[in-house]
Structure 1
Amino acid sequence: MNFARRPVAESGQTARLGFEDIRHGYGQGDVVKGVSLSAAPGEVLCLLGPSGSGKSTLLRIAAGLEQPHHGRLLIDGVEVTGPSTFLPPERRGIGLMFQDFALFPHMTVADNVAFGLQRLPRASRQAAVGEALARVGLSGYRDKYPHMLSGGEQQRVALARAVAPRPSVLLMDEPFSGLDSRLKDQVRAETLAVLRETGATVMIVTHDPGEAMGVADRIALLKDGHLVQTGTPRALFSRPESLFAASFFSEINRFEGKVEAGRVEIPFGSRSVAAAMPDGPVTIAIRPGDIRLSQEATLSGQPAEVLERRFLGTQELFRLRIEGTSHVVDASISAGAIGEGVGRVFIEVDDQTILVFENREQTPYTRDT
């Protein structure tokens, strides 16, 4: 085994991070199954998936905390993990930010941020600490201790500590999961601004699709150790390649159907499908937000009975039964669009929002309840 000693990137440089056919597991079976993936220099890449999908294992492999059973990890084209190579974590030019922030309670904010800068002369170290704290808006917090800070402030200290050494790659494991829901949007926006300023290549692990879409340049969606789909947030949401991908980003109304001669029957009538779709059984998915409701009959509207409605502030959720069928659908519309007490509405759906998947043992994502 070649335990390389040199760093692969100078401080402050951005780097490409690449996984090649990574396989790894614990005990029986692999939790990462042949994943090949790369993050471009300066890109924010989110590893997204449910628990057990392998995303945190990939992060640990990138950090040098795990050595995979098979495959290679490259930083700027240099192999740092492979069949005969292992570069120690401290030589990879990588920064780490953990889910629980991992601040040292007996150290001041300044000392926490300076922890990874011990090789610098004192004056340079203090300057780097000041610069990092200024980036996260905590210049006046140098002498405070972690217990004196709010959750959002602790998160910013952890971010300052991670970016202070100016890593070429920054790895973040569920960095916002411990925050109050009211703080998340603000802290995410502040964090993204800091990351853009540093220019580091960033890989963020999360199980929250909304979070991934809010911060990522690209998303890598994982399931059961396999890479399901990669792309921009818009591409994964608008053009999911599987029923799992469609259902992971949103609740869906799901129907079974059959394609014949380029058309499929759904509860809203006969619709055309992509020319490449072969004849045979399919699953149709329609997001609640893509269903339009009206109180007045329309030419293409399908009448439905209102079974239930729930007010959620700016939105209302409707549960509806399509007249003449046993099909029940959920719709999400702007609050107030349908008058109180209305028991019958008309449903319309644009063809472009109807997702059709061939039946090849596809399963949707089921959220915990």
Structure 2
Amino acid sequence: MNIAARNVGETGKAARLGFENVVHRYGADDVVRNVSLTANPGEVLCLLGPSGSGKSTLLRIAAGLEVPTRGRLLINGIEVSGPSVFLPPERRGVGLMFQDFALFPHMTVASNVAFGLTATPKPMRAQVVDDALARVGLMGYGEKYPHMLSGGEQQRVALARAVAPQPSVLLMDEPFSGLDSRLKDQVRAETLAVLRETGATVIIVTHDPEEAMGMADQIALLKDGELVQAGPPHMLFKQPANLFAASFFSETNVLDVSVEAGKVDLPFATLTAPAGFSDGKATAAIRHSDVRLRNEGRGDAAKAHILQRLYLGRSEHFVLQIDGLIQPLHARISAGHIAENAESVFVEVANTAILLFEKRP
């Protein structure tokens, strides 16, 4: 395997990173299957999917920790990993932030941040470290040790270490998974602000759809090693490519329906199928949060018997039985909108909130 002879990522300048028909195999199993995907300069791309979907493998290929079985990895259009080329990780201009932060316990915070500054002249390193710590709100923490810090503070040290060398691409593997749930929102917001300030191209691996929605410019949704759909968060949510994509971002009612003469009749709506949609068996998907409940009926509302009602603080979860539906319908609404002693309610669902998918053989 030839070794490329030059660096491709320019320090302090965001790069474009592309996966081109990437396949990766462990033994006889393909864990990544023909994925083509681009992270644009200065954007945050989230690799999203359940465990085993191939997202961490793609990140390791980008970092140079794995070599693709087939296909190519390109940075700024230059092949850095492929059939005949492999550029070592340290010459890609790529930074990596690990899931467990990977801080050295015997080293001070300042020494941890300085660890990756091998290309920075020694007289300048102290200032670069101070600037990086200030950027993440930890000025004055340089002489502390990791065990003296909270989980959120350790995460910020790891972030400071990752951004200090000014990588052209920053790779982050489940960076918030080890944090207390109460801290996650705050730390995510702080991290995103730092990432926007650096201007680097960022690829984040996550299994949390809410995290991806809140941080990403682009989301790549993966399943079983294949790219299901890629695009801006609002597109994946509003125009999911299939039932898996529709259900991944929120709890969803999945209903077996029939399309006849281009129409689908439901107890609470009559839906027109998209152009080119075949008559016959199909699947309708309705997110729990898109079901509206009322104490009194109006218009096309369907009467439903309350099978179960769970109070969840700010919201309530209802399980409902509606004549004409085989499966119970689930709804999640703001608490307090339905009378406490109610045994039945009226259901409304906007036509635009009903997603229709053809049955696959």
SS at match of 1:117: coil
- Is contact 1:255-1:266 (8 Å) kept? no
- 1:241-263 Cα deviation digits (max 9, x unpaired): 10000011111111111212110
Distance 1:87 1:277, change over 3 A: same
- Which residue is equivalent to 2:179? 179
- Which residue is equivalent to 1:359? 359
Distance 1:174 1:91, change over 3 A: same
Per-residue deviation, 1:7? 1.0
- Which residue is equivalent to 2:163? 163
The amino acid of 1:187's aligned partner reads V
Matching of residues 189-338 of structure 1 within 5 Å: 189-323=189-323, 325-338=325-338
Bigger shift: 304-313 or 93-102? 304-313
Per-residue deviation, 1:298? 1.1
Computed over aligned residues only, the root mean square deviation of the Cα atoms, in angstroms, reads 1.1
Distance 1:122 1:332, change over 3 A: same
SS at match of 1:356: strand
Bigger shift: 40-49 or 322-331? 322-331
Bigger shift: 28-37 or 258-267? 258-267
Residues of 2 paired with 1:15 and 1:261: CA distance?
50
- Is contact 2:133-2:139 (8 Å) kept? yes
Residues of 1 paired with 2:231 and 2:79: CA distance?
25
Runs (5+) with no aligned partner, structure 1: 362-369
Residues of 1 paired with 2:304 and 2:154: CA distance?
51
The amino acid of 2:216's aligned partner reads A
Runs (5+) with no aligned partner, structure 2: none
TM-score, with structure 2 as normaliser: 0.98
Per-residue deviation, 1:5? 3.3
- Is contact 1:305-1:323 (8 Å) kept? no
The amino acid of 1:123's aligned partner reads P
Residues of 2 paired with 1:119 and 1:45: CA distance?
27
- Which residue is equivalent to 1:367? none
Per-residue deviation, 1:324? 5.9
The amino acid of 1:197's aligned partner reads E
- Which residue is equivalent to 1:15? 15
- Is contact 2:269-2:349 (8 Å) kept? no
Per-residue deviation, 1:140? 1.3
- Is contact 1:102-1:158 (8 Å) kept? yes
Distance 1:118 1:327, change over 3 A: closer
Per-residue deviation, 1:338? 0.6
SS at match of 2:339: coil
- Which residue is equivalent to 2:154? 154
- Is contact 2:254-2:286 (8 Å) kept? yes
- 1:270-313 Cα deviation digits (max 9, x unpaired): 32221221212110010111011000121211000111111112
Per-residue deviation, 1:29? 1.8
Matching of residues 31-42 of structure 1 within 5 Å: 31-42=31-42
The amino acid of 1:126's aligned partner reads A
Matched, 1:134 2:134: yes
Residues of 2 paired with 1:42 and 1:119: CA distance?
22
Per-residue deviation, 1:325? 4.9
The amino acid of 2:314's aligned partner reads T
Residues of 2 paired with 1:193 and 1:202: CA distance?
12
Residues of 2 paired with 1:221 and 1:342: CA distance?
40
SS at match of 2:147: helix
Residues of 1 paired with 2:125 and 2:288: CA distance?
53
Bigger shift: 317-326 or 160-169? 317-326
SS at match of 2:140: helix
Residues of 1 paired with 2:275 and 2:34: CA distance?
32
Residues of 2 paired with 1:140 and 1:325: CA distance?
62
Per-residue deviation, 1:118? 2.6
